[in-house]
Chains A and B, each alone.
Chain A
Amino acid sequence: MRALDIAATGMSAQQMRVEVISNNLANMSTTGYSPRRADFSDLHYQQVTRAGTIGAADGTVVPAGVQIGLGVRPAAVTVNFAQGALTATGGDLDIAIEGRGYLEVTMPAGNPAYTRDGSLYRTGDGLIVTSDGHEVAPGITIPDDARQITINGDGEVYAGFLDRVEPELLGRITLVGFANDQGLEAVGSNLFVETAASGAPFTADPGTDGLGTLRQGHVEASSVDAVREITELIEAQRGYELNAKVITAADQMLGAATQVR
């Protein structure tokens, strides 16, 4: 009896939806987090009577046939890269990206990773790093005696000194874009890495090539919409219960069948 298996695929799909929602809600306050959404797709179809089969000797064709779907499967977990709210923090190394694009960071193994979390820090040597200590490209070092750091919308980092009037240009933070943001692989800690599906990264100055601009003194809040997630959660829970009901009904039908001698 396939109805049992079909309903089981439905239950596991709804369960996965709850898992995605709970991860979104858990990251409600994670800087730069974009909510995920589980996308489903129907499973294979069993062709009981193929449409177009000739049903009689005179060539009458069966117009619709009988196809039985075998359930549902998760097709993708897509990321909704909507702009999160910018929260003013006042920190001179807090930068939010307004628009598309990622900051490039260098992982301990030397490979690049990409993040939208712009709460940056400096090391003892003055190097600009993320909160996990990964170096932010292109590796700007802030002098010890710098009194003030200014980062403008185009990514230029200026240091002001007590004994000088003119600020000194230290470098420019560049942004990275991808053809397919959805294809990036999330590796945790707000980081993404490139895959074959994301396309090659292109590096550009903020505000060019369709990439966003930087805003100093702000961080991008999580763009999780709690109300939407909760309504989705209710839907997923009821969906799970409905599929469980189908299993019960199918079980009772089987029970009725076994009671006949």
Chain B
Amino acid sequence: MDNPTYVGLTRQSGLMREMQVVANNIANMATTGYRREGVIFAEHVAATGPDAASLSMGNAVGRSISPVQGAISATGGQFDIAIEGEGFFLVETPEGEALTRAGNFIRNEVGELVTVNGHRLLDAGGAPVFVPATAQSVALSGDGTLSADGQPLTRIGTWGAVDPTELSRRSGTLFLAPSGVEPIDGARFVHGALEASNVNPVAEIARMIEVQRAYELGQSFLDAEDGRVRDFLRTVGARA
């Protein structure tokens, strides 16, 4: 095959990958605390020879995690917490400390707050959050102070990755930060509310149509290239 076909192919496989990302975003449009994912294409320049022009190919090399605030909807749940602003909750997972925006916590059988997947929530000091089973009313103030029956229990903090570019996703709307986490300030907590997924369905569908049409365009390009090669072979073959 010839270079034009290869260039077309990199574009096609990148678009296929982007389609998967769009499909995943739409599938997670109702996932609490989900962060929209984007694909970044970069030019991959290949030198074709010492004097020839170089060739540029499109390649999906990276991804972006959308930091846009999701809609906060009131649920009235006793342990539903939404973060307004930047930062994440810190939770303890078998893979180490992880970050999440999903604030739909549940009190487990010993009274600790855990995520729906059973990972323990950690407070501003990095300790598990304990709410006694006999507490009648639980309140959380905007700065994260958790109190039961008027007695302060602990303070929940917001955390961020030391190196935000390294955030990698894990199942359960979790993010892992390989080089560690640090407390960050400036966010507010909303008690009895949850942050919805920050996927904008209209934008995703628009992106999906764009990807689909670009893919079809790429296919007709490959088609034309195929026709060109065939014409060439037919012409050359006839002369020979």
Contacts and interface: CB of A to CB of B under 8 A. Distances in A.
Interface in A203-261: 209-211, 235-236, 238-239, 242-243, 245-246, 249-250, 252-253, 256-257, 259-261
A78 interface: yes
A142 to B, nearest CB: 31
A203 B111 CA distance: 16
Interface string B118-138: 000000000000001111100
A80 B76 contact: yes
Secondary structure call for the A interface: mixed
Interface in B142-171: 149, 165-166, 168-171
Contacts of B43: none
A260 B226 contact: yes
Contacts of A47: 168
A198 interface: yes
Contacts of A177: 133-134
Interface string A133-156: 000000000000000000000000
Interface stretch (A5-13, A25-33, A160-168): A5-13
B27 A10 contact: yes
Contact of B171 (A7, A41, A62, A202): A41
A45 B64 CA distance: 14
Size bin of chain B's contact surface: 35 or more
Nearest to B209: A249
Contacts of A256: 215-216, 219
A52 B165 CA distance: 10
Contact of A62 (B61, B134, B222): B61
A51 B166 contact: yes
A259 B134 CA distance: 67
Contacts of A109: none
B77 A42 contact: no
A199 interface: yes
Nearest to A231: B73
A45 B27 contact: no
A243 B78 CA distance: 32
Contacts, number: 217
A230 B214 CA distance: 38
Contact of A261 (B22, B102, B135, B226): B226
B30 A64 contact: no
Interface size class of A (residues with CB under 8 A): 35 or more
A49 B63 CA distance: 10
Contact of A6 (B27, B106, B165, B172): B27
B190 to A, nearest CB: 16
Contact of B26 (A51, A210, A246): A246
A72 interface: yes
Contacts of A48: 17, 60
B108 interface: yes
Given A10-B28, A67-B63, A250 B172 contact: no
Interface stretch (B32-40, B46-54, B88-96): B32-40
Contacts of A210: 132-136, 149
A68 B104 contact: no
Interface of A: 1-4, 6-7, 9-10, 13-14, 17, 37, 39-45, 47-49, 51-52, 62-72, 75-76, 78, 80-82, 99-100, 177-183, 196-200, 202, 209-211, 235-236, 238-239, 242-243, 245-246, 249-250, 252-253, 256-257, 259-261
9 contacts: A7-B27, A42-B31, A51-B166, A65-B62, A65-B63, A71-B28, A76-B104, A180-B108, A260-B222
4 tightest A-B contacts by CB? Answer: A10-B27, A199-B109, A69-B24, A179-B133
Interface of B: 12, 15-17, 19-24, 26-32, 34, 37, 39-40, 60-64, 75-78, 102, 104, 106-111, 116-117, 132-136, 149, 165-166, 168-173, 178, 201, 204-205, 208-209, 211-212, 215-216, 219, 222-223, 226
